[in-house]
A and B are shown apart, each in its own frame.
Chain A
Amino acid sequence: MPALRCPWLAGTAKSPLEVCPLYYWNWLRHIVRLPETTNFPTAPDPAVAEMSDPAAIEMAARPSDPFPRRSIALRHLDAGSCNGCESELSLLSSPDYDFTRYGFSFTPSPKHADILVITGVITEAMVPIIHNVFEQMAAPKRVLALGTCAIDGGVFAGAPGVVGSLSGIVPVTVAVAGCPPSPGDILRGLLTIADHRDPLASRKAVSR
């Protein structure tokens, strides 16, 4: 069998982790481990600031209805992305960015959602679906346009079947530019929706 000839299948290197027989017992190790989570964007972190674009955040006029400041549920909608924004968005729940420390979480239902996060070029086929998902959300609700494609179509502007913009479909509250935007910038965008100010713009301590 060819499998037996491949050294990469033969077994993994011995490591200190192997003293734990089951994965569950990792919590013991994590008690003594310091958090890997960045303090960006509400406190300085040069490593993450390096990957951030200071001009990424664009705000629309402040909506008139009040919005919860914390404990905000996100519904993600892919409207024609290249899966780059998804890759970065899924890292928000990683230990490195841990967006739950600011009160954010993903929800599988638009009916529980407060923010609709839209990625991708906005294809014609997705327009009625975007309408539907937005209507299913209860007020107060906000829309985050994530990535250059969701803002103006990016390199795909003018492609057949590509609308290229959310204008006239749903009201965009905050747009985060970038291709793809770094997880730090996505966090800034979410906090901008909650507080209606970019945490980087309002705190000198977090300057690059």
Chain B
Amino acid sequence: MSTIVTAPPTQAVRTYPTAASWLEAWSALREHGWETVLLDADEEVNAVLMPPSDDPQRENLVTLRLITQGPHRERRDPPSARDILETLDAEARIAGERADLGWAVSEPPPVRGKGIFVYPLGPVRADVAESMLYRLVVMGDEIVQLNLRHHFKQRHIRQLVLGSTVLEAMPVIARFTTTSNVHHTLALAAAAEAAWGVAPHPDADATRVLLAELERAVSHLGDLAALAVSTGLTVPQMEYLHLKEDLLRVNASLFGHRYLRGVVCLGGVNWTALPSHADPLQATETVAEILKVASGIAAQLERTPSFLDRLHGAGTVPKSAIHQIRPVGPVGRASGRTFDVRQRLGYAGYPADLQVPVLPQADAYARFRVRVAELNQSLAIVLSRLAAWDPTRLRQKTPAETAFAEPPRSPEGLGVVEAPRGLLAYRLVVDASNGRIRHLGVATPSARNWPVVPAAVANGNILQDFPIIDASFALSVAGWDG
């Protein structure tokens, strides 16, 4: 591994007195390649942006703050009125919580006509699936429109953690989305570390990268298994599931939990929870074997026409949706968007020259290829990190969590990471006197990418393509219904 970036992301705030000027500034920066990270509201309304990598801007994260207190008479448009659609989910939530803003949430126009049928699917559906209702509007076989209904399984995590300490919130956040729990705890820990001014030790950072890439590999293996079976190929599904189980057992042997929960802690890594009999050498062997077999499966799938024919051109994300919603993660990178937080922010000691796979086609096949490439890359990073990993060196390197019981240095902190499904951001606001949570803003990759799915599905596809398109996106409902 080359240069290690250890400096935590720097953060700046710009305030705007009127909604028009705030939206204007946001739109202008967006046009210049700035990336919207999060939109949330407590007393103020905040749009947090990340500058493009070639920007001379010193800050990594810039908050555009709209101060909305006081008797305002001006008309306040929501971001979607300016075609800023990547924060649709947050906008709908804020519109519900902050009636004073007067933001209206618009519904897609209903499709009517002779021969139009609505095919409802859900909320209980398929073999093992999360609860959500798909309403497929079809004309014969062709899908004309897709409406998604969620919120069946909302757990109101943002409200639940209000008033608790960050330490108490960690186990709750670790159950936001279990297949991304390392990244959720990592983002909250990063936000808390920014607020309390604690920098994790490089050894703890190295372990965090190991954890993050193990989680990404497990997640991608499961997603690839689901994609294989969506085309009716059960043998590669079984092979991918077997590799996933092997990797979950590596997780359990090294870190004591199949999904690595509870290892990332505030300020570093909870080394006391690590099993004493961890064998990194054995784990390295297993991971190397997984990398070899996974490459072989992907190479063979690339030569199986019945698989490729179903993926090529299926669920192509329209250009307008890419431009307005700006999908993140593998979905975004398969749509020609060169954006990966690991590369842009270089958090937790990721190499600055990390190369991420990007394809322009935006169809199910591109998403398959990007996931395969990312899986191989993640496993290679795991192998290189395992070679230098010494769990005994973690001792005494993580500051006591009691440091977070003291009043914070700053009442606010941001944490941004690249979860397996894409950009994940936490904005933490704590009480300056006792460190209890006053507000928690969370932007998950699934919440951001779900609005892309209807646009991609209702794009010249037929009903039989739907399971393949759905599997190729591999989004989680838990991440949307937090």
Interface residues of A (CB under 8 A from B): 1-3, 5-9, 12-13, 15-18, 20-24, 26-27, 30, 36, 47, 50-51, 75-84, 86-91, 93-97, 106, 108, 110, 120-121, 123, 125-126, 129, 133, 149, 154-156, 158-162, 179-180, 182-183
Bound-state Cα–Cα, A26 to B301, Å: 11
Nearest CB of A to B373, in Å: 4
User: Which one of A77, A87, A94, A159 lies within 8 Å of B160 (CB-CB)?
Assistant: A159
Interface residues of B (CB under 8 A from A): 123-131, 151-157, 159-160, 171-172, 175-179, 181, 222, 233, 235-236, 238-239, 241-242, 244-245, 248-249, 252, 258-259, 261, 292-293, 295-305, 307, 338, 355-360, 369-370, 372-374, 376-377, 476-478, 481
Verify B175–A126 contact, CB threshold 8 A. Answer: no
Verify A81–B152 contact, CB threshold 8 A. Answer: no
Residues of A contacting B235 in the complex (Cβ-Cβ under 8 angstroms): 23-24, 26-27, 30
Bound-state Cα–Cα, A47 to B252, Å: 10
Bound-state Cα–Cα, A160 to B482, Å: 12
List the 3 closest pairs (A to B, CB-CB), nearest first.
A84-B178, A17-B296, A94-B241
Verify A6–B242 contact, CB threshold 8 A. Answer: no
Bound-state Cα–Cα, A87 to B215, Å: 13
User: Which one of A6, A36, A90, A97 lies within 8 Å of B357 (CB-CB)?
Assistant: A6
Residue ID in chain A nearest B172 by CB atoms: A155
User: Which one of A15, A76, A125, A183 lies within 8 Å of B295 (CB-CB)?
Assistant: A15
Bound-state Cα–Cα, A52 to B177, Å: 22
Bound-state Cα–Cα, A80 to B236, Å: 30
Bound-state Cα–Cα, A82 to B177, Å: 5
User: Which one of B178, B305, B307, B376 lies within 8 Å of A83 (CB-CB)?
Assistant: B178
Nearest CB of A to B40, in Å: 18
Q: Give 14 A-B pairs besides A82-B175, A155-B175 with Cβ atoms closer than 8 angstroms.
A: A2-B338, A3-B360, A8-B377, A23-B300, A26-B235, A76-B127, A84-B259, A86-B128, A86-B130, A94-B242, A125-B151, A155-B172, A161-B156, A180-B259
15 examples of A-B residue contacts, CB within 8 angstroms: A3-B358, A3-B360, A9-B373, A12-B372, A23-B233, A78-B153, A80-B481, A83-B130, A87-B179, A94-B241, A108-B127, A120-B153, A126-B131, A156-B160, A161-B155
Nearest CB of B to A157, in Å: 10
Verify B296–A125 contact, CB threshold 8 A. Answer: no
Residues of B contacting A149 in the complex (Cβ-Cβ under 8 angstroms): 175
Residues of A contacting B171 in the complex (Cβ-Cβ under 8 angstroms): 155
Verify B160–A12 contact, CB threshold 8 A. Answer: no
Verify A6–B373 contact, CB threshold 8 A. Answer: yes
Residues of B contacting A108 in the complex (Cβ-Cβ under 8 angstroms): 125-127
A8-B373 in contact given A15-B295, A51-B249, A81-B478 (Cβ < 8 Å): yes
Residues of B contacting A106 in the complex (Cβ-Cβ under 8 angstroms): 127-128
Verify B355–A7 contact, CB threshold 8 A. Answer: yes
Residues of A contacting B259 in the complex (Cβ-Cβ under 8 angstroms): 84, 87, 180
Nearest CB of A to B258, in Å: 6
Verify A96–B245 contact, CB threshold 8 A. Answer: yes
Residues of A contacting B377 in the complex (Cβ-Cβ under 8 angstroms): 8
Verify A50–B252 contact, CB threshold 8 A. Answer: yes
Residue ID in chain A nearest B184 by CB atoms: A82
Verify B159–A159 contact, CB threshold 8 A. Answer: yes
Residues of A contacting B292 in the complex (Cβ-Cβ under 8 angstroms): 13, 15
User: Which one of B130, B298, B374 lies within 8 Å of A12 (CB-CB)?
Assistant: B298
Verify B176–A82 contact, CB threshold 8 A. Answer: yes
Verify B156–A162 contact, CB threshold 8 A. Answer: yes
Bound-state Cα–Cα, A206 to B384, Å: 38
Bound-state Cα–Cα, A174 to B388, Å: 45
Residues of A contacting B477 in the complex (Cβ-Cβ under 8 angstroms): 78, 83
Bound-state Cα–Cα, A167 to B300, Å: 49
Verify B374–A8 contact, CB threshold 8 A. Answer: yes
Verify B153–A125 contact, CB threshold 8 A. Answer: yes
Bound-state Cα–Cα, A5 to B233, Å: 31
Verify A23–B236 contact, CB threshold 8 A. Answer: yes
Bound-state Cα–Cα, A125 to B477, Å: 15
Most buried by B among A7, A83, A84, A162: A83
User: Which one of A8, A87, A159 lies within 8 Å of B178 (CB-CB)?
Assistant: A87
Verify B242–A96 contact, CB threshold 8 A. Answer: yes
Bound-state Cα–Cα, A17 to B236, Å: 12
Verify A87–B222 contact, CB threshold 8 A. Answer: yes
Residues of A contacting B293 in the complex (Cβ-Cβ under 8 angstroms): 15, 17
Verify A76–B299 contact, CB threshold 8 A. Answer: no
Verify A95–B152 contact, CB threshold 8 A. Answer: no
Residue ID in chain A nearest B305 by CB atoms: A22
User: Which one of A15, A16, A17, A91 lies within 8 Å of B244 (CB-CB)?
Assistant: A91
Bound-state Cα–Cα, A201 to B251, Å: 27
User: Which one of A17, A90, A126 lies within 8 Å of B128 (CB-CB)?
Assistant: A90
Verify A93–B241 contact, CB threshold 8 A. Answer: yes
Residues of B contacting A30 in the complex (Cβ-Cβ under 8 angstroms): 235
Verify A83–B357 contact, CB threshold 8 A. Answer: no
Bound-state Cα–Cα, A129 to B125, Å: 12
Residues of A contacting B124 in the complex (Cβ-Cβ under 8 angstroms): 75, 77-78, 110, 129, 133
User: Which one of A21, A47, A80, A95 lies within 8 Å of B155 (CB-CB)?
Assistant: A80
User: Which one of A24, A95, A123 lies within 8 Å of B153 (CB-CB)?
Assistant: A123
Verify A78–B155 contact, CB threshold 8 A. Answer: no
Residues of A contacting B372 in the complex (Cβ-Cβ under 8 angstroms): 12
Nearest CB of B to A15, in Å: 4
Nearest CB of B to A192, in Å: 20
Residue ID in chain B nearest A48 by CB atoms: B249
Verify A159–B128 contact, CB threshold 8 A. Answer: no
Verify B238–A95 contact, CB threshold 8 A. Answer: yes
Residues of B contacting A5 in the complex (Cβ-Cβ under 8 angstroms): 355
Bound-state Cα–Cα, A121 to B181, Å: 17
Verify A12–B376 contact, CB threshold 8 A. Answer: yes
A16-B296 in contact given A3-B358, A23-B304 (Cβ < 8 Å): yes
Nearest CB of B to A158, in Å: 8
Bound-state Cα–Cα, A81 to B176, Å: 9
Residue ID in chain B nearest A136 by CB atoms: B124
